[in-house]
Copies of this chain bind each other. A is one copy, B any other.
Amino acid sequence: MVDNNTQPSVPHVVIVGGGFGGLYAAQALGKAPVKLTLIDKRNFHLFQPLLYQVATGSVSPADISSPLRLVLNQNKNTQVLLDRVTDIDPDRQRLTLGDRTLSYDTLILATGVKHHYFGNDQWQSIAPGLKTIEDALLMRRRIYGAFEAAEKETDPEKQKAWLTFVIVGGGPTGVELAGAIAELAHSVLKNDFHHIDTTSARILLLEGMDRILPPYAPELSARAASDLTQLGVKVQTQTLVTQVTEGSVTVRQGETEKLIPARTILWAAGVKASGLGKVLHEKTGVALDRAGRVMVEDNLSISGYPNIFVIGDLANFSHQGEGERPLPGIAPVAMQEGKYVAQWIKRELRGQTHSPFRYTEVGSLAVIGENAAVVDLGWMKLTGFIAWLTWVFAHIYYLIEFDNKLVVMVQWGWNYLTRGRGARLITGEDFLLTITPENLDTTEDMPLPAIKN
């Protein structure tokens, strides 16, 4: 037993960000002879791959969130700080947290990405993206609120706009949102309204490239498109969004532009690096890519600062594979990077040598709806029910790794059997005020359907 009370030689490792990269690094360092500080501005790790299910009302925020203190409370070398890093001083090895500073010996930055509107930040309030719990609850409010507003609306044109859902971006998040909204309209909510037929809702998935899920194998893109069409989604590729306003989206397809009246516009199109990437660039001169991601060395450190690592979505790792395409911004990459850096630090402390980081391909998954998904394992491609089961088990496996999320399984099983949506409550103050301004211009009594005895 070593008495570490004076901690003469114990290095301080600071991890910023409790996402997949930061949390996997923290866990892998939990028994290492370091003192470890994990800083996050939220008190929970968020299982982002299921955030679209919060947005569409299948699960509750807590079902996909694990309290960071709970996950890490067995690691006696670890403290969790609920705070925001505002500056980095790489030469004095200090971080600024508001008015405080915190020194580090080794720094791991894992603050991820945020939405990107390609220079049209004014679209953000109209077309929310999906990165945080608050984003997901806002989307949920918009989606369920649109059906409610349509139910009240008596003008057929306006009603149609309320029943038009536009999802911008055909990556996994866009595909998952479109599929889930289609299931709401065609199945879950089918019997719940009197004045509207929810199955008449239009769900448009817009993608700028020539196919959805562009990084996947072409046959999987095709299958995903046909599965979505089956569910009631209209997939429109080679379609660029040129304008977003409250109530409409304008798209360009080839030479033609058209305006689509739509009250619910969801953004799944682009991301850019978190602001700490830029801070790091200014302070160290490290290069950033076009999305603001930090260009990292082959061991995930940055040039000239061997004690600063950048991992996960914030990092651009281009030392692997053909043409040095960066690794994709997905959870498995972040997890492996987090574990690698932890290993690197432990080997360094023992005076051992290192090899460069290599990502081990584990495949890409996107779920389309109940019983339908596409899985690209590289050496094998799965579709349909088998792919969906693979998706379910992969997600349950990762979910229960930190925090036994028994409840999610029960909820999914229950939803699957009943085709219900347990978490469809619309929350947030004054919701009514946000959907009704133009619905209240009628003084007519509302018609009622015939009564069946």
In the complex, per-residue mask of A410-448: 1 if CB is within 8 Å of any chain B CB, else 0: 110010001011111111110110001000111111101
Q: Is A451 among interface residues, defined by CB-CB distance under 8 A?
A: yes
With both beta carbons as reference points, the residue of chain B lying nearest to A79 in the complex is identified as B194
Asked whether A253 is an interface residue with its Cβ less than 8 Å from the other chain, the reply is no
Q: Tell me whether A99 and B62 are in contact (CB under 8 A).
A: no
A133 touches B445 (CB 8 A): no
In the assembled complex, the Cα of A24 lies from the Cα of B12 at a distance in Å of: 60
| Chain B residues positioned under 8 Å from A403 (CB to CB) | 422
Inter-chain contact B103/A445, CB cutoff 8 Å? yes
Within 8 Å CB of A41, what residues of B? Answer: 432
Residue of B with least CB distance to A430:
B41
Chain B hits for A448, CB < 8 A: 7, 12, 35, 37, 79
Q: Is the CB of A79 within 8 A of B446?
A: yes
Report if A380 contacts B (CB, 8 A). Answer: no
Chain B residue with minimal CB distance to A410? Answer: B410
- Residues in B with CB closer than 8 Å to A80 are 192
- Nearest-CB distance from A323 to chain B (Å)? 40
Main SS class of interface, A: loop
A326 at the interface (CB under 8 A from B): no
Instruction: Say yes or no for A5: interface residue by CB 8 A criterion.
Output: yes
| Contact bitstring A282-324, B, C-beta under 8 A = 1, else 0 | 0000000000000000000000000000000000000000000
Kindly list chain B residues whose C-beta atoms are within 8 Å of the C-beta of A43.
Answer: 144, 148, 424-426
In contact, A453 and B4 (Cβ under 8 angstroms): yes
Contact of A99 with B449 in the complex, beta carbons under 8 Å: no
Closest B residue to A137 by CB, please name it.
B427
Residue of B nearest to A44 (CB): B425
| Residue among B65, B134, B152 making CB contact with A83, cutoff 8 Å | B152
Determine whether A2 belongs to the interface, using a CB cutoff of 8 Å to chain B: yes
**With A70-B192, A102-B445, A446-B102 as given contacts, are A432 and B133 in contact (CB-CB < 8 Å)?**
no
A191 within 8 A of B: yes
A362 within 8 A of B: no
Tell me if A404 is interfacial: C-beta within 8 Å of chain B.
yes
A19-55 interface mask toward B, CB cutoff 8 Å, 1 = contact, 0 = none?
Answer: 0000000000001010101000111100000000000
Bound complex: CA A260 to CA B428 (Å): 32
- List of B residues within 8 angstroms of A442 by Cβ: 99-100
A350 interfacial by beta-carbon distance below 8 Å: no
- Other-chain residue from B2, B3, B414, B426 in contact with A406 (beta carbon distance below 8 A): B414
Whether, in the assembled complex, A60 has its beta carbon less than 8 Å from a beta carbon of chain B, the answer is: yes
Choose from B33, B151, B423, B440 the contact partner of A453 (Cβ within 8 Å).
B33
> What are 14 A-B pairs with beta-carbon distances under 8 A?
A5-B450, A7-B448, A12-B448, A31-B453, A33-B453, A42-B426, A43-B424, A44-B426, A60-B62, A62-B424, A67-B425, A79-B446, A81-B152, A102-B446
| Residues of chain A whose beta carbon lies under 8 Å from any beta carbon of chain B | 1-5, 7, 10, 12, 31, 33, 35, 37, 41-44, 57, 60-63, 65, 67, 69-70, 73, 76-77, 79-84, 97-103, 133-134, 137, 144, 148, 151-152, 189, 191-194, 403-407, 410-411, 414, 418, 420-429, 431-432, 436, 440-446, 448-453
